Amino acid sequence: MKLYPEKALEAIEKLSVQLGWDVTKTAAGIYDIVNAHMADLVRNVTIGGGHDPRDFTLFAYGGNGPMHAAIYAAELGVKEVVVPAAASTYSALGLALSDILHSHRMFQLNPMPMDPGRLNDNFDTLERLADEELERDGVEKRNRVFSWAIDMRWGAQYYTVRMPIARKKYSAKNVETLCTQFDELYESLYGKGSAFTQAGRFATAFMVDGIGKISKPDLPKREAGSADASKALKGKREAFFSAFNEYRTTNIYDYGKLEVGNVISGPGIIEATQTTVVVPPGLTARVNEYYNIILK
C-alpha cells in the first residue's frame, strides 16, 4: 500500500493552525491522545474486571499496535510488552489455529433441586446436537471434548450465575450437591453471607460446548546469539519523542536482519514488512528464541 505523508502533513497542518501549535506538537498530541485512549480501554477490561494490569504482560500485534504499546504499557504500569513474530497476522493466525466450537443452549425454568431425569435428558439432548455437528466437521471422536454448565439464580432475582458442572449422569443426591455448589460459587463471587437461600434456587438454562481439538504446529525455536544488533542497522532518522520534547537522531533497524539475542536500547525504531516497533527512550528491545520482540 502506497503511503502519502504529504497528505497526512496537510491534514495536521489544518488542525495545528486551529490550535495555534506547530505541526510537530500537534502530531505528538494526536499520538498521546491515541495512547491514552488505548490505556483506558485496557483499564476497562482489567481493572473493570477486578484485575491489576501490572500483573500482566501486554501482547502488541497488528500493523499499528507495536507503534503504541510500549508507551501506554508504561502508563498502565505494565513492565513487559511482547510483539509476536507474526504481529500483523496474529489475529488471523489465532483463528486458523483455534479449536472448533459448537455451543448449544436450552432455556428452561426449573426450581432446584430439579428432577434428575429431566436434567440428564437436557444435557444428553444438547450434547448429541454438538456431537452431530463435530461429526459433520470431520472431527475424530478422540478429539471431541464436551463441557457442561448451568445458569442458576435465586427466586425473584433477574441476573443468573453460570456454573460449570461435571459431565455425568446425575442422581437426586447429585442434584442436591449442585445446589450446595451454587451457594458456594455465589458467595465466592459476591461475598460471604450473600447467598439468599430463603428465596429458593432456580435453574434457568442448560449449556453444552462441543470442542473439536485440531492439531497445532510446533513453533520453531532458535538458538540465542550476540546482543549486538548492529548488523540489522539500516540507517538513522530524525524522530520526535515526547520524553525529549524534541527530535533526536534515531537508529532504524531491519527486523528481518535481527538475530535471536539481539538487544536494542531506546530510542530506536524496528521496521518490518508488516509492522513498525517503536522502542521509547529508557526501554530495551530483545529478540527472544521465537523471534518475538520483548520490550522492557
Examine the domain organization and report whether 252 and 174 are in the same domain: no
Examine the domain organization and report whether 26 and 79 are in the same domain: yes
Confidence of residue 247 (pLDDT cuts 50, 70, 90): very high
- Can you point out the beta strands (E) in 144-188? 144-154, 161-165
Confidence of residue 218 (pLDDT cuts 50, 70, 90): confident
Last residue of a domain, one of 212, 233, 266: 212
Q: Does the pLDDT at position 264 exceed 90?
A: yes
Helical pair 65-76 and 23-46, crossing angle rounded to 10 deg: 60
Contacts of 90 (CB under 8 A, 6+ apart): 59, 61, 62, 84
Per residue in 9-43, pLDDT (tens digit) is: 999 999 999 999 999 999 999 999 999 999 999 99
Mean per-residue pLDDT, 91-114: 94
Confidence of residue 119 (pLDDT cuts 50, 70, 90): very high
Q: pTM value?
A: 0.75
Domain residues for the domain of 263 are: 5-92+222-295
Angstrom distance (rounded) from CA 259 to CA 227: 9
**Residue whose C-alpha cell is 489544518:** 14
State the first-to-last Cα distance of the chain, in angstroms, to the nearest integer.
31
Structure confidence at residue 3 (pLDDT): 83
Greater model confidence, 40 or 192: 40
pLDDT above 90 coverage of the chain, percent? 81
Angstrom distance (rounded) from CA 105 to CA 204: 10
Residues 248 and 239: beta-carbon distance below 8 Å: yes
Q: Does residue 288 belong to any structural domain of this protein?
A: yes
Examine the domain organization and report whether 235 and 134 are in the same domain: no
Q: Which of 295, 228, 234, 222 is nearest to 263 (CA)?
A: 228
Query: Collapsing DSSP states into helix, strand and coil, what is residue 234?
Result: strand
Mean per-residue pLDDT, 96-101: 93
Examine the domain organization and report whether 247 and 173 are in the same domain: no
Cis status of the peptide bond prior to 267, with omega within 30 of 0: yes
Examine the domain organization and report whether 207 and 244 are in the same domain: no
Go through the chain and tell me how many residues it has: 296
Q: Does the pLDDT at position 128 exceed 90?
A: yes
CATH of the domain at 178: 3.30.1490
Angstrom distance (rounded) from CA 269 to CA 277: 6
Q: Does residue 217 belong to any structural domain of this protein?
A: no
Confidence of residue 139 (pLDDT cuts 50, 70, 90): very high
Structure confidence at residue 88 (pLDDT): 87
Last residue of a domain, one of 188, 212, 236: 212
Last residue of a domain, one of 165, 189, 212: 212
Q: Does the pLDDT at position 62 exceed 90?
A: no
pLDDT above 70 coverage of the chain, percent? 100
Structure confidence at residue 56 (pLDDT): 95
Q: Does the pLDDT at position 1 exceed 80?
A: no
Per residue in 78-88, pLDDT (tens digit) is: 999 999 998 88
